[in-house]
Amino acid sequence: MIVGSWNVRGLNDPSKIKEIKHFLAEKKMTVCALLETRVRSSNMLKVQRKLGGFWSWCCNYSSSPRGRMWVGWQAAEVCLRVVKQSEQVMVSEVTSLDATVEFIFVSVYGLHTINDRKSLWIELLEVIANCDKPCIIIGDFNAIYQVDDRVNGAMVSEAETQDMEDFIQRGNVIEAPSMGFYYSWSNKGLGTSRIASRIDRAFVNAQWMTQFPEVKVNYLPNGVSDHSPLIFDLVNSREDGSRPFRFNNILCEHKDFEETVTTAWREGQERYKMKLVWNKLKKVKVALKALHTRHYSQAHLKVEELRRRLAAIQALPQIQHDERVQIDEKECCEQLRYWSRIDDSIIRQKSRITGCRKVILIPSSSSLQ
């Protein structure tokens, strides 16, 4: 399921309509928010038909006559229901037809002044406070929250960043992991006159981080707009193309388990509390994955190897009188029982139903200070 947001900066030019249609088809988009369309309501259906008959659309003309936001979806793939809309925000519930994926999709198009955006942050905090599902807030915020978010142009002031910082802290959200370009907007100027900034972003809540930890937002080239499209894949995203890490309970029995978790937990650093916890958990995951790889990886192969070794020892003629061979037999039997128990534990855990409740083991509070 490919989902995204793009400030297209006008959708009246036939050539731009063609490029947007090509983008939606090429990227195999399932859900997409098109921002700042500038299409009059009287021309809305005409333009939407040109984008393809498979798309369903909901727009916020009742709140903004200039057609600031269009949310589109492929009805053959997902169900989408808009539950709230205003001049700067559209909130939608998205569910795949097989009901395996469900999340809240919040499209944002922030107004151009700090004062006009005050209501935006209030709306977003209300959405987060009332949301018990995975939620992503994505779009053009027209705001930045750190000095590095702008190249050239006026210096970044504290007044520009304060509201977004407050929203992140009060809403307990973090910026979604991203890839691709860093700056999402450019004035397309020449030389030192070119100004670039990161004003298009995506924020996610704790439920999103739990359910979609590997999802990254891809910042693509601007194309026919001066803003980057932001897209992500909810179904096929896997970090570095690898399988997701699954905690095996047998790790708890290793002598280095507690020290490994405690050391990794202490490494995470971040100024925002929610992101701090997220970074610490990622550090713990990496450390436990390394511990599993070093000591328990491919346990079934170890069992097979020990079976062959035990059979070879027991086939030796001198086993009836050579004490050294008898000791080797005893040690091999003990190792076989040990690794067989580990292999059984891993198999039992893998055989459980995927949808069962997962238990997260966290070190005691005293060890994490």
How confident is the model at residue 350, as a pLDDT? 64
Do 122 and 59 fall into the same domain?
Answer: yes
Per-residue pLDDT at 364: 45
3-state secondary structure of 5: strand
Q: Where are the beta strands (DSSP E) in 152-249?
A: 174-175, 178-180, 185-186, 196-197, 200-204, 217-219, 230-233
Check if the beta carbon of residue 196 is closer than 8 Å to that of residue 150: yes
- What pLDDT does 134 receive? 93
Number of Cβ atoms within 10 Å of the Cβ of 37 = 23
pLDDT of the residue at 190:
87
Same domain, residue pair 145 and 217: yes
Q: Do 19 and 46 lie in a common domain? A: yes
- Of 239, 256, 285, the position where a domain reaches its end is 239
Q: Over the stretch 77-109, which tens digit does the pLDDT of each residue have?
A: 999 999 999 999 999 999 989 888 899 999 999
Q: For residue 97, what are the CA distances in angstroms to 32, 55, 83?
A: 17, 15, 18
Residue 274: predicted pLDDT: 65
* Co-location of 230 and 265 in the same domain: no
Instruction: Give yes or no: residues 266 and 183 share one domain.
Output: no
- Do 24 and 133 belong together in one domain? yes
Burial class (CB in 10 A: 0-12, 13-18, 19+), 205: buried
227 and 305 together in one domain:
no
263 with 364, same domain? yes
Alpha helices in the chain (DSSP H): 14-26, 44-50, 118-129, 158-171, 206-211, 257-267, 273-295, 299-314, 323-351
Tracing tokens 């063609």 back to the chain, one arrives at 18
Predicted local confidence at residue 349, as pLDDT: 67
Residue 56 CB burial class (10 angstroms; 0-12, 13-18, ≥19): middle
Pairing relationship of beta strands 102-109 and 89-96 according to DSSP bridges: antiparallel
Q: DSSP code of 77?
A: T
Tell me which of 239, 259, 289 is where a domain ends: 239
Go through 215-239 and write b for each residue having 16 or more CB atoms within 10 A of its CB, e for each that does not: bbbbbbebbbbebbbbbbbbeebee
Q: What pLDDT does residue 351 have?
A: 64
> In order along the chain (369 residues), what is the average pLDDT of each group of 10 residues?
93 92 94 94 92 92 87 93 93 91 94 93 93 93 88 86 89 89 90 90 90 90 92 72 60 78 72 68 76 70 82 85 86 85 74 48 44
State whether 271 and 230 are in the same domain.
no
221 and 251 inside one domain: no
pTM for this entry:
0.69
State the Cα–Cα distance between residues 324 and 326, nearest whole angstrom. 5
At 299, the amino acid letter reads: A
Which domain range does residue 267 map to? Answer: 245-369
The set of long-range contacts for 126-131, using a CB threshold of 8 Å and a minimum separation of 24, is 127/84, 127/89, 127/91, 128/171, 128/172, 128/173, 128/205, 129/171, 131/104, 131/205, 131/207
Do 168 and 151 belong together in one domain?
yes
Q: Using an 8 Å Cβ cutoff, are 7 and 35 in contact?
A: yes
Instruction: Report the run of H or E that residue 296 belongs to, with start and end.
Output: none
Total residues found in the chain within this entry: 369
| Tokens describing residue 172 | 């307990």
Q: What is the CATH number of the domain that holds 221?
A: 3.60.10.10
Give the chain's domain count.
2
Residues 6+ apart with CB under 8 A from 86: 60, 63, 119, 123
Q: Tell whether 106 and 136 lie within a shared domain.
A: yes
pLDDT for 32: 96
Q: Which of 176, 207, 239 is the last residue of a domain?
A: 239
